[in-house]
């Protein structure tokens, strides 16, 4: 006996992309009727005229579902399906049987663990529905098995990852150390790593030179001092400080001429473009959980106490306190660099400018705090101005170490070691100009 293969591609499906059915019956007219029934559905249909032939087909082909007649010579449908169950348990098994074959049907159910049996003569709609449901159930089981296997694989990978996590962290730390050119970093330096990263990032806009150099750091230092003077909790002070460092990040996309042009002399169109930067700055940081508070202050740092600011026209105490502080600190620096008004003001004139805005541009309480520290405060500890040849391991920076163009090299309070001192000297050699390094006097020799 020979198997007959009917490879139906009604809907353009390639073998293996659609379910494969095997129809087993010794009567050719039954096979033909079943093939006609399934053809419109696009199934791949294989046929066999007996149980032994069907087993041969199963050995060569992947079969999703078998429909077998009960009464066949040499091997009954029950026997055939029992063999299929034993060798290919995932294949769905359906039995065609007559009403007089109840005993044999029970045997098939027990031995072949069939999915369903269909009584002859059948209703076409019932057969199609049974087969469709069987294939859908089989697909769900396979997907469940695939997902379980995937989950097991991922769990094993996770276990392996966790087992080597400590070594991985050490490797990544070493890689970062080599990239940044630093040796082992003390615990306190690690705690300041996040703020140092923010300060480096704040230099992106200032790397374009001009009057921007150092602006964010000066604003951040003043805003932090004001926030502390006004009694803000340390967590809120930190948000003010971070917002001040990043308050101009929304200006990165502005052309150079707008960065240099005083706001007071801009055209209406230029002002509208510049006035978008608080919202752009907030949007740039909104995905970072640690900077959500700072992002909120950045959006509001051009609001005015009298409600004439932007972008939301907030007024009075509805403006976040940190943003009221930042607005004042920002303007104080900008009037001295000439980026807010048409000419740079002296420090004394800048103080007068702030005083004149009390209750209008600025929160009166913020002005009072500013006046308490106007002109700068003396350092809590004396400092020394040194050149690189005078540096010694153990000294701590009393100010940020910046390049000639305003780029941050090391942040304030960084503890120097031999490697860092060597890197500072190498930087001077490449740059061709010496640096002035300020250190706390108590750490000097």
Q: Is the pLDDT score of 171 beyond 80? A: no
pLDDT score at 105: 64
- Of 108, 142, 176, the one marking the end of a domain is 142
Judged against a pLDDT cut of 50, whether residue 291 lies above it is answered with yes
Q: Which one-letter DSSP state was computed for residue 265?
A: G
For the ranges 241-255, 319-333, 357-371, which has the lowest average pLDDT?
A: 241-255
Q: Are residues 220 and 346 in the same domain?
A: yes
Q: Which pLDDT belongs to residue 349? A: 92
3-state helix, strand, coil in the chain (%, to 5): 55, 10, 30
Instruction: State whether 218 and 363 are in the same domain.
Output: yes
Kindly state whether residue 160 falls inside one of the protein's structural domains.
Answer: no
What is the pLDDT averaged over residues 271-275? 90
Query: Which CATH number do you get for residue 411?
Result: 3.90.105
Q: What is the CATH number of the domain that holds 348?
A: 1.10.3210.10
333's CB contacts (< 8 A; 6+ apart) are: 215, 218, 219, 222
Closest CA to 242 of 208, 292, 315: 292
| Per-residue pLDDT, 1 | 42
Give the Cα separation of 340 and 445 in Å (integer).
Answer: 44
pLDDT over 90, % of the chain: 37
> Following DSSP, what letter does each residue of 162-217 receive, concatenated?
HHTHHHHHHHHHHHHHHHHT--PPPHHHHHTHHHHHHHHHHHHHHTT-GGGTTHHH
Pair 302, 411 in one domain: no
pLDDT for the residue 61 = 93
pLDDT at 303: 96
Task: Indicate if the pLDDT at residue 278 is higher than 50.
Answer: yes
Last residue of a domain, one of 332, 347, 373: 373
Q: What is the pLDDT of residues 306-316, one digit of tens each?
A: 999 999 999 99
What average pLDDT is seen over the chain? Answer: 82
Give the pLDDT of residue 182: 42
- Within this chain, do residues 349 and 438 fall inside the same structural domain, yes or no? no
Residue 205: is its pLDDT beyond 70? no
Query: pLDDT category, 260, cuts 50, 70, 90?
Result: confident
240-257 average pLDDT score: 87
Tell me whether strands 383-386 and 116-119 are parallel, antiparallel or unpaired: unpaired
Supply the range of the domain harboring residue 406. 381-443
214 and 344 part of one domain: yes
In a domain, 192, yes or no: no
Report the half-sphere exposure of 313 (CA within 13 A, side-chain side). 0
Confidence of residue 226 (pLDDT cuts 50, 70, 90): very high
pLDDT tens digits for range 90-110 = 999 998 887 556 665 666 675
Residue 103: CATH number of its domain: 3.40.50.2300
More confident residue, 210 or 84: 84
Cβ atoms 416, 394 nearer than 8 A: yes
Domains: count for the chain? 3
- On whether residue 165 sits in a domain, the answer given is no
Q: Do 396 and 297 share a domain, yes or no?
A: no
pLDDT reading at 338 higher than 90: no
Q: Does pLDDT of 177 surpass 70?
A: no
Structural domain includes residue 182:
no
What does the pLDDT read at residue 200? Answer: 59
Of residues 378 and 56, more confidently modeled: 56
Same domain as 225, residue 356: yes
- Residue pair 60/36 in contact by the 8 Å Cβ criterion: no
Residues 416 and 353 in one domain: no
- Answer with the one of 373, 391, 409 that is the final residue of a domain: 373
216 and 272 inside one domain = yes
Where is average pLDDT lowest: 121-125, 190-194, 214-218?
190-194
Inside any domain, residue 11: yes
Give the lowest-confidence range in 101-110, 118-127, 427-436. Answer: 101-110
Same domain, 26 and 46: yes
Q: How confident is the model over 26-55, as pLDDT tens digits?
A: 999 999 999 999 988 889 999 999 999 999
Average pLDDT (337-366) is 91
- Residue 265 maps to a domain: yes
Give the confidence band of 180 by pLDDT, cuts at 50, 70, 90. low
Q: Which percentage of the chain shows pLDDT scores above 70? A: 80
Residues 307 and 396 in one domain: no
Same domain, 102 and 219: no
The least confident of 338-342, 343-347, 377-381 is: 377-381
* Eight-class DSSP state of 74: S
């Amino acid at each position: 006996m020979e198997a007959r293969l009917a490879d139906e591609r009604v809907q353009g499906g390639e073998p293996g992309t659609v379910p494969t059915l095997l129809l087993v019956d010794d009567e050719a007219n039954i096979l033909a009727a079943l093939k006609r029934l399934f053809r419109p559905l696009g199934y791949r249909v294989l046929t066999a005229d007996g149980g032994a032939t069907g087993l041969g087909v199963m050995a060569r082909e992947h079969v999703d579902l078998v429909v077998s007649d009960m009464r066949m010579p040499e091997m009954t449908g029950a026997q055939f399906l029992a063999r299929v169950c034993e060798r290919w348990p995932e294949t769905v098994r359906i039995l065609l049987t007559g009403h007089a074959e109840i005993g044999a049907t029970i045997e098939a159910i027990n031995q072949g663990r069939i999915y369903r049996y269909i009584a002859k003569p059948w209703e076409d709609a019932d057969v199609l529905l049974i087969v469709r449901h069987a294939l859908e159930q089989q697909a769900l089981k396979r997907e469940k098995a695939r997902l379980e296997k995937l989950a097991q694989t991922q769990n094993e990978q996770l276990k392996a990852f966790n087992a080597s996590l400590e070594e991985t962290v050490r490797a990544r730390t070493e890689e970062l150390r080599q990239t940044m050119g630093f040796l082992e970093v003390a615990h306190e330096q690690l705690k300041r790593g996040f703020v140092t990263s923010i300060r480096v990032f704040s230099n992106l806009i200032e790397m374009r030179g001009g009057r921007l150099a150092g602006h964010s750091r000066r604003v951040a230092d003043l805003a932090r001092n004001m926030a502390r003077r006004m009694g803000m909790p340390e967590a809120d002070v930190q948000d003010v400080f971070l917002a001040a460092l990043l308050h101009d990040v929304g200006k990165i996309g502005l052309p150079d001429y707008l960065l240099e042009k005083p706001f007071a002399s801009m055209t209406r169109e230029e002002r509208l473009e510049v006035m978008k930067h608080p919202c752009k700055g907030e949007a740039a940081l909104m995905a970072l959980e640690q900077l959500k508070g700072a992002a909120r202050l950045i959006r509001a740092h051009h609001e005015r106490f009298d409600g004439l600011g932007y972008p939301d026209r907030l007024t009075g105490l509805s403006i976040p306190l940190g943003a009221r502080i930042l607005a004042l600190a920002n303007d104080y620096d900008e009037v001295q660099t000439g980026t807010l008004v048409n000419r740079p003001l002296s420090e004394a004139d800048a103080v007068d400018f702030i005083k004149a805005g009390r209750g209008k541009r600025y929160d009166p309480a913020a002005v009072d705090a500013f006046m308490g520290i106007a002109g700068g405060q003396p350092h809590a500890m004396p400092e020394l101005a040194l050149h690189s040849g005078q540096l010694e391991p153990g000294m701590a920076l009393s100010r940020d170490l910046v390049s000639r163009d305003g780029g941050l090299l090391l942040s304030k309070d960084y503890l120097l070691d031999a490697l860092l001192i060597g890197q500072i000297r190498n930087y001077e050699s490449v740059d061709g100009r010496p640096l002035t390094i300020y250190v706390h006097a108590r750490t000097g020799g």
